[in-house]
Every structure is written in C-alpha cells, then in structure tokens.
Structure 1
Amino acid sequence: MSFKTSSVKINPVPTQAQVDALKAKYAAARQEQVFTFYDSLSPEEQTALYDQLSKLDVDRVNRIYKKAVSSLESSSTNLSISPLPNDSFDSVLDATESKQEEWESIGLKSISENKVAVILMAGGQGTRLGSSAPKGCYDIGLPSHKSLFQLQAERILRLQKIAKDTTGTQGQVVIPWYVMTSGPTRAATEEFFQSHGYFGLEKENVIVFEQGILPALTDDGKIFLETKSKIAVAPDGNGGIYAALRNENVLTDLTSRDILYVHAYCVDNCLVRVADPVFIGYSISKHADCGAKAVRKAYPEEPVGLIALKDGKFNVVEYSEFDPTLAALTKANGQLEYGAANIANHFYTVDFLKSVERFEGELEYHIAKKKIKHVDLKTGELQSPTKPNGMKMELFVFDVFPFTERMSVLEVDRKEEFSPLKNAPGTGVDDPDTSRRDIISQHVRFVEKAGGEVVAGVGETQDKLTFEISPLVSYAGEGLEGLKGKTIRTPAVINTVDDIEKVVLS
C-alpha cells in the first residue's frame, strides 16, 4: 500500500497547449483572474502556479461556494429541534456496571480480532499555545513531560495488551493509528514520530496522511491570489477527513487490513480513551453506522454544541440556535432534555466511511469570514486587510450525522474523558494547566479506586501534586490492585508496574 508523502517533487514545465487548456477551464468557471500575472512570472513560478491550479477542481469550488451561500441565505431560526430518541442514547453515568462490562467485552473482542482502527484529527498547530510545532507535540507539563502524541500512543499500546490478555488471543493484536495532518503540520508530525521511534508502536501501523485544502474566496466567490504565483488556500476543516480518507488511500488500507470499525477523535483532548472498548462495544451493540460520545451539559447556558435532532435528523445544534426556554427543559430525572454536549469523538463502520462519497455533494460547507492577505489584481501589490474581506469554507466532522441511518450517542463522564487544550498558558480555561491538572486528578482517582491514597509531599499541596501514572501501566484505572491499602507521597511517578512498589510508603 502506498501513501502520499511530503517529499519535494520537481514538476515538469507545462506545454503552451496545456496552459491554454487550463486557462480555458478557469475562464469557463469564471475564475480566470488567477492567471492575471501568469505571463510576467518566471518559468519556475509559472510551473508552480500551473501545478497548483491543475490539481484544483475549480468546478467543485464553485459548487461548494454556491451551496454554502444559498444555505446561509435560507437558514432560519425557526428550526425544528427535538431530543435524541431514547433508543439511540445511553449514559455510562446511569448504566449498570454489568452493562458497561458487556459493552467493554464486545469492544475488546473486536480489538483482539484486529477489527478496530483509530483515526486522529491532528491538523492543528500550537500557535495559541506559543508553539510553532503541531499541537500533538505539545508538552502540557506532566512530570514525565510526555507530549499529547505520546500519551495517546501509549494508551494504544496498553489497550492492545489488555485486549490480548483478556481474550486469550494467541496472535498479535494491532490497532492501526491513522494520523490526519494539515499541509503545515505534516512534515513536522512525521519527523516527530520518527525521532521518537513511534513511541513503541510499529512504524507500519502509524500512518500519517493529509487533509485537503480549499481556496480562500472573495465575498462574490472569486479565488484570491496570495501572491502573483500562488492562490490563497486553507485546510477544509476537520470534516475534510472523509474526502482525505479516500484521496489518501486510507480507506483502501483499512479494507486491506479487514478493519470493520473506526474510532476518530481530536488530538487536543488529553483525557481521550483511544479506541475505547466500552464505546466501540456500545456502538456495535446498537448496530450503529456512526456513533458519538457526549458529555453532560453543565448548565443551560453553557456555550456548547449539542447532539440532537434538527428537522428530524441527527445533527449538532449550536447553542446560539436554542431558545433559552428550550435549553432549560429537563427530563423526569432532572437532567437537561438537551444535554448531550458534543466533543468530536466518533465511532464509524468502515462501510459508512466508504458511503460518504455518495452524499458528499449534499454536505453543507460553513463560511468563515476572514482577513485574507492577497495581491491586488490591478496593482500587483500585497494587501493585508485589517477587517474580514473574504471567506474560507470548511466542513465539520459532524456534518455527516444527518445522513446516518443508525446512529447512537453515549454520554460519558466529563472529568474522566474530556479536557481539551485550546488556550494559551495562564488562561485558566482549557489550557495546559487545566490539562495537566485533569490528568493528575484522574490518576489520583485511579489510586483511590484501587483502595490506595495519594498525599502531598514536602512543598506540595493536595490540589497541586507532582504525580503521574503512565498509560503503559493503566489505561483506565485497571492494573493497580497492588496499591490497595497503601499510601503514596508525592512527588511520585509510576512509569512501570515495578514502580508501584517503589512509590508505596505504607
């Protein structure tokens, strides 16, 4: 199986006939402005621009623009919003322990049979965090200084072992990891994994691929030139995952490995349970084509997107679309009627992922007004606007929900499974400090559930501990039975099973 690489290729110089044909194509699409400076460019610049334009489906760009604009113009605040059907929603907060064990057993069996893969959406850069590296490379300040990538890789390693040991599987258990990057993050991501030996995973089971791009457009749909020899482009959103899986040969690779189920998530959630067997088993038991994890909305006004029915179809409804009275409605058990907060954590069958191509033309792209640097077509001078002057278009990963025939939603415990890293250090919300705090707090709970105790050492306080348990030791709190009745004084790090005895005081 061959995947596209980020190696630099020297493109052949196009013939005049090829240039004329491409110019005619863009003129027919009324996008001929992209050739405004072509004749004044150097041969190398002409080749680069020709190559960029020849790879772009300009008619598709026009279709996307027209659909996005028409959808925006026809949008209504009088949407029909209704709760999730009871048979498509369950919660680990309410489910019995035996029911959760049943789901987990189904998931572990599928994992042990090498039927499960993971897709990581990791196209973002750490710009807000003050880093030029991909966000997955970021160190949130744990005692071990492990990056987000490493934490997630080690969870995969641990889960492979759990599935093998639990089911008694004789052969190798493999959870392939497909890492979706963007153009700016691909090379750095590949280098990071290579330099760290893929964190113990086998190289052939860590597949890096790249999401697509779309041109930046003027308000009337014209493609911007970023320079005289380059059009302005941007990643097509996390919803670009579906086309990228096809275009980058990932679907073909999944098929060749006989993978049936996929877990997909975003890189910035430090608590993510990668290939969570409970979620996978739950989704399989519901015969779902597509599944989503949700966390319980904290209060009616919390600004989060909610998984619900919109005009009778599964969707994510933005908080701004809810009337306050509707947002405050409660069920008989006192929980919010609309309380399934979306966390971009999904289950898919591979068959469903393959089916997306059939309805891809119906997906509605979202318009984001942006300040777009560009070349003035009359003067050739670079323009750096101070206010939005155009648009970028993107898909969201949940835009396929309305096309799902059988969907299920599993509510999970927020403190155990969701802590996103969005903001700069010191922000106080969804920043490196909260990510580090949430992981350490979880590890303390792991010890307490095992019957042990973690106490602050000299110079530390109970709310700011130097403590960590490697994912290689425990995926979700299991494997810590040796801590029963024991006390751990910080600072302490449990990197291996042997460390359990070393850190115990009593």
Structure 2
Amino acid sequence: MIAANKLSIQTPKPVDATTDVSSVSYPQIKERYQVAGQGHLLTYYEDLPNDKQTALLAQLQSINVERANRIHQKATTCPSPLLSNQSVFLAPLPEECFDSTLEASPEKIQEWQQIGLSQIAQNKVAVILLAGGQGTRLGSTAPKGCYDIKLPSSKSLFQIQAERILRLQQLAGQQSEAAAKVVIPWYVMTSGPTRPATVQYFEQHNFFGLDSENIVFFEQGTLPCMTFDGKIMMESKHEVALAPDGNGGVYAALRGSGVLADMTERKIEYLHAYCVDNCLVRVADPVFIGYCVQKNADCGAKVVRKISHDEPVGVVCLRNAEFNVVEYSEIDDEVARRINQKNGQLSFGAGNIANHFYTVGFLNKVESFESELEYHIARKKIKSVDFATGEIIAPKVPNGMKLEMFVFDVFPFTQRMAVFEVDRREEFSPLKNAPGAGQDCPETSRRDILQQHVRFIQNAGGNVVVGEDDQQVDGAPTLEISPLVTYSGEGLSQIVSGKSIKTPIKINSLQDFEKAIF
C-alpha cells in the first residue's frame, strides 16, 4: 500500500509530463513549441538569467503543448450542443433511476442506511473532497476549508467534516460485520497554491483526531491560459500562465497522483465525492451510499428540489438520451415550467449540488473516454505579457480563456446512473459569497447549521427554549451540537425525549446535555 503520509507531501508528477527535463535541451523545446505554433513562449529566453531559463524550460517540458492545442480546438470548434445549432432533446430523469428521501418511507431510508453502514463497516468506502478553492471572495487568504463561519465552537469547515467522518466510523464500528478498525480514507484534492496551507492546517490541528495515514492530499491539474485565437499566454517572461483545469480535473489527478492505486491497495469499492464549501454535507453518507449500492449504480448524484422553475441552478436530466447537467440558462422557459403530473413537481427540478457517488471500477474507466469529455471556456481578465512591448498588462476586459472540465462531465458515460433527491434544509448550504451578502454566505451557513441542530432535538422528542441571554444571530437559537455527538440526529431521543433544552448551549459531549436540560 502507498504510504498515505508520504503521498500527502510528495508533488505528483504532472499528468501532462512526457520526459525528464534534465534530458531535454533548449533546441528540442524550441523546435517542439514552434511546430505546435507556440514558439512565442521562448521570445525572451536569451535575455533571462540562467536560473530563470532553467525554470522556463522545466515548465514548458511539463506542459503537453499538443494536448493543450487539441483541447483549445475542441472547446472552440465543438461547443456544447446547447450552445450551438445542433439538435438537442431534453427529457426528465427516468423513474427507475430516481428516488427521494422527501417521498420515501422511514423504513426505506433505514434500509438504505443499513446497506451503507455495512459497506463502511467493511472498509469499502472512501471520500474524495474537492478542496481547491481559496477563500478570496470571503475576504480570507486561506483555503476555503479553513474558514470559520463563526459557530459558537469556531470550528472550520475542515474540522466539521473531519468530525463527521470520526462519528461515522464509530457508528459503522457498531455493525456486526465491522472490521477490527473501521476506516474511511479521506482523499483531499487541493490546487497547487492551496496545497501547502491546507496540509499545514491539518498538521497544526493534529488532523482533527483522524489518523494522518488515512488522509491523502493530492493536487488537481492545470492547463495553460490561452488567447481567443489559441496562443498560450505568459504570466511573466519566464512563466507560462496556468490555471486549474476545473473540478472535472479530479479524474486525471486521481490517476496521476497515485490515489487510484492507493484505493485499489486498500480494497476500496465505493467513493463519495463532494465540495468543501457545503457546511451541511453528510460526508460518506450511508443512506446515499446504500441507495447507490442497492441500485448497482456505477455513478450517482445527490440533488435537491428546485425552489422554483427559474432558480439559477444546473439540473440533472437527460440530454439526447444521456445523463447530464444542464445549466439553468440553457433550458427554455416553457421546458423549465413543465410539471410531472404524477407528483406535481417540476419535471426538470433535480438541482445539482456537486455531490457524487462512484465505484472505483468506474473511476478506472474514465481514462478510456477522457478524450471525449467536454472542455468549457471561461473568459477571463488574465494578467499577461504583451509580446509587442514586453510589458505585463493587467487588462480591464477579458483578454483570454481558461479551459476547464466539470466534475459532472462524466455523467453521459455512465452505464448505471442513480439520482438521489435529499432535503435541502438538511444537506445543502453552500458558502460562496462574502459576509453580509445575505445568500450562500457565512451568516446563512451558520444559521443553517444551528437551525438543523434545533431540529435534531425536536425530532428526538425534545423541546428547545430560547434563553433570555441567547443573543440569536439571524434568527437561529444558539444551539450547536458537535458532529462527534451525533452525525445526523441519531442517539438523541433517549436523552432529550420529553425534556426541554435551554439556549445558548454548545454541546461537545453527551454530558453537556445535563447542563442544558431542565
């Protein structure tokens, strides 16, 4: 087995690398890039000091320039059929691949949960965290997972998620088929810039109580930034302008970093993948895992019910008979308004929340169809070298493009897809916007967690009384329950049923309930 702690600190070989830079000369690089139509990247080579010449050659060698050209050509000449004149037929999800916790019986949900717990107990489940985002829009220089949404406990997103894993390992360990030690490996994908700070943050917090050998850090890939006519841009005279290849780059990164091999060594069969910014995410959710396993799915997606036909969220549906995520702006208003006569809900109402299930077998197949995946163009203002003057220009309007894949671009290639609708209040509260924005911001994230914990008590038969000294924020009583106490509300009824709890209160252990119950 790959030593996870070793894997977590090594720099993976770039996915695009071909040969060792030490064996490549300047003339070879120059010829290769001239043939590819990108010879301008060596314009200033002769004027650079030796160390910067070496750095530039190393970077150029690590880039598969031919692949970059192919990606640009495909993205600009073969756009999504929804953005071209190609015939497109959208259809709702087939009934046989869709279920909802909002409609399912408690017995059915319990059945799915038991299946999922059984798989976790046998050490067949791991988690992929897409954690490459920076907290820039939140006013933070740290990775987004380090962000404190100002809960009473001051826990970061990383800590909340880690403690959910710890609690779930404990719950799975109570199953009759449990391994001697239940482990849910946590594979954390960072970007290049956020990796050092992310690893350091985990180390400073002693990996939040998890075994460091079961937390594996790896980096998503990058692609060169390009002008609209396909020329690779330079950030400086000795550096190519690079950008992350999108969350869809996770598939190539899993291969190139050795993570897929590590999963095979650990005998992992099922993966749960999610984005770091959802404070309500149920990490390695046994209900979701169990549902997908029961469906024999090779790929699965959690969705939430759209609030309205025009809510600006992508929809999981069929596009030309293939599973896909269609952006809200790409769906005709008449289609968006259609109602399913059987349940009275929107026919195209499965809102995408970037929360997925995979089998390891499916992830290993991605390489075989990767060349067919779509690449999406993001038009950006990119600081770059003006080759006419040699100056670095900070443009005021978009001057180039970043090319990226989306994590859901693999959906059309699945053979057995499962789509699972969950309660938005319980499982989806993204952190996207700056404090004070009023939506998808730190205040709403904090509110949604605190309100959920109130529901935990109420659903367990208890009553929550707001104390006079509770300075509620955003209308949410100050009641925080550590994930180490309960994963999704389990285990509370025998403690709080028929009793009242007074806020403000922060519960870190079962004993803390004694201080609040009256």
- TM-score norm. by structure 2 comes to 0.94
Is contact 1:294–1:412 with CA below 8 Å preserved after alignment? yes
C-alpha spacing 1:125/1:73, structure 2 compared with 1 (3 Å): closer
Partner in structure 2 of residue 483 of structure 1: 496
The answer on whether the counterparts of 2:114 and 2:286 sit within 8 Å (CA) in structure 1 is yes
- For the residue of structure 2 that corresponds to 1:208, the secondary structure is strand
RMSD: 1.7
* Equivalence for 1:252: 261
Query: Residue 391 of structure 1 aligns to a residue in which SS?
Result: strand
Evaluate the alpha carbon distance shift between residue 432 and residue 51 of structure 1 in structure 2; reply closer, same or farther with a 3 A threshold. same
Q: Following the alignment from structure 2 to structure 1, what is the Cα–Cα distance between the partners of residues 395 and 444? A: 35
**Which is worse superposed, 416-425 or 68-77?**
68-77
**Residue 217 of structure 1 aligns to a residue in which SS?**
coil
Maintained 8 Å contact 2:121/2:179: no
Amino acid at match of 1:457: G
Deviations 1:407-442 (A, max 9, x none): 010000000000000000000000000000000000
- Whether contact under 8 Å (1:293, 1:345) holds in the other structure is yes
2: distance between equivalents of 1:240 and 1:73? 18
Give per-residue Cα distances to partners, 1:3-37, cap 9 Å, x unaligned.
Answer: 2736799xxx9779611111111111111111110
Q: Alpha-carbon deviation of 1:167?
A: 3.3
- Contact (CA 8 Å) 2:303, 2:422: kept in 1 or not? yes
- Please identify, of 185-194 and 456-465, the stretch whose mean Cα deviation from structure 2 is larger: 456-465
Aligned to 1:286: 295
Residue 391 of structure 1, aligned match among 391, 401, 416:
401
Q: Secondary structure at the match of 2:199?
A: helix
Question: Residue 261 and residue 7 in structure 1: after superposition, are their counterparts in 2 closer, same or farther (change >3 A)?
Answer: closer
Distance apart, 1:73 and its partner CA: 8.1
Tell me how far apart the structure 2 counterparts of residues 500 and 14 of structure 1 sit (CA, whole Å). 61
The amino acid that maps onto 1:286 is: K
For 1:86, which of 88, 95, 103 is the aligned residue? 95
TM-superposed CA distance for 1:466, in Å, is 1.7
2:205 aligned with 1:196? yes
Indicate conservation of the 8 Å contact 1:6/1:187, yes or no: no
Contact 2:471/2:478 (8 A) holds in 1: no
Aligned sequence identity (%): 59
User: Mapping of 1:174-253 within 5 angstroms?
Assistant: 174-253=183-262
Alpha-carbon distance between aligned partners in 1 of 2:431 and 2:269, rounded to the nearest angstrom: 30
What is the CA distance between 1:460 and its match in structure 2?
Answer: 3.1
Which deviates the most, 442-451 or 369-378?
Answer: 369-378
Q: Aligned residue for 2:153?
A: 144
Q: Could you tell me the TM-score, scaled by structure 1's length?
A: 0.97
From the superposition, tell whether residues 104 and 362 of structure 1 become closer, same or farther in structure 2 (CA, over 3 Å). same
Which of residues 76, 79, 88 in structure 1 aligns to 2:84?
A: 76
Q: Which of the residues 18, 26, 36 maps onto 2:33?
A: 26
Matching residue within 441, 447, 452 for 1:442: 452
Q: Report the 3-state secondary structure (helix = DSSP H, G, I; strand = E; otherwise coil) of the residue aligned with 1:184.
A: coil
Question: Partner of 1:124: helix, strand, or coil?
Answer: coil
Which residue matches 2:340? 331
Cα distance in 2 between the residues matched to 1:123 and 1:428: 24
Q: Counterparts in 2 of 1:277-426, with a 5 A limit?
A: 277-332=286-341, 333-426=343-436
How has the CA–CA distance of structure 1 residues 102 and 14 changed in structure 2, closer, same or farther, with 3 Å as cutoff? closer
Q: 1:490 to 1:42 in 2, by over 3 A?
A: same
Q: Which one of 473, 484, 495 corresponds to residue 472 of structure 1?
A: 484
Offset at residue 169 of structure 1 (A): 2.4
Contact 2:123/2:183, CA 8 A, preserved across alignment = yes
Structure 1 pair 168/400, CA: closer, same or farther in 2 (3 Å)?
closer
1:238–1:395 Cα contact (<8 Å) kept? yes
User: 1:168 deviation in Å?
Assistant: 5.6
Is 1:498 the counterpart of 2:515 in the alignment? no
Give 1:50's match in structure 2, choosing from 51, 57, 80.
Answer: 57
1:157-168 matches, within 5 Å, as 157-167=166-176
Closer, same or farther in 2 for the Cα pair 1:44/1:286, shift >3 Å? same
Question: By how many angstroms is 1:378 displaced?
Answer: 2.4
Q: Which residue of 1 aligns with 2:16?
A: none
Using the TM superposition, name which of 14-23 and 451-460 deviates more.
14-23
Q: Which runs of 5+ in 1 are unaligned?
A: none
Residue of structure 1 equivalent to 2:45: 38
Q: In structure 2, what is the Cα distance between the partners aligned to 1:139 and 1:37? A: 44
- SS at the partner of 2:88? coil
Shift of 1:464: 3.2
Report the residue type matching 2:190 in the other structure: T
- The amino acid that maps onto 1:314 is F
The one-letter amino acid of 2:234's match is L
How many angstroms apart in 2 are the aligned matches of 1:65 and 1:442?
A: 45
SS at match of 1:132: coil
